[in-house]
Amino acid sequence: AQSVAQPEDQVNVAEGNPLTVKCTYSVSGNPYLFWYVQYPNRGLQFLLKYITGDNLVKGSYGFEAEFNKSQTSFHLKKPSALVSDSALYFCAVRVDSSYKLIFGSGTRLLVRP
């Protein structure tokens, strides 16, 4: 069965510092990987995806993620964090033959001024 794990409940970082939000996955097949962000009482907003090709994927709001097949990871990164980046971040995975998107438990990012 496919699954995705976000090992950190919360990540704290100072504004201007780089940030990393971790995600690992387990699938039998080719993974499609996604990152979403959620602000309080709102729906999820799509940030970026990896389907195939270049392992470094660039997305919205200056975020990027690196696909690492040997470590089965897809960590979200940003070179310089903003206070407005504070939100709940979700990693998700689907296998290429499936319609279902499976989400991780979420990581709360807190960027302090």
Contact between 25 and other proteins (CB under 8 A)?
Answer: no
Q: Give the CA count within 13 Å in the CB-facing half-sphere of 66.
A: 8
CB of 47 to other proteins, least distance (A): 9
Pick the binder of other proteins from 22, 44, 66, 86 (CB under 8 A).
44
Question: Are 35 and 91 a contacting pair, CB within 8 Å?
Answer: yes
3-state secondary structure of 35: strand
Site size for other proteins (CB under 8 A)? 26
Pairing of the two strands 73-78 and 87-95? unpaired
Binding site for other proteins (CB under 8 A): 32, 34, 36, 40-46, 49, 51, 88, 90, 92, 94, 96, 98-106
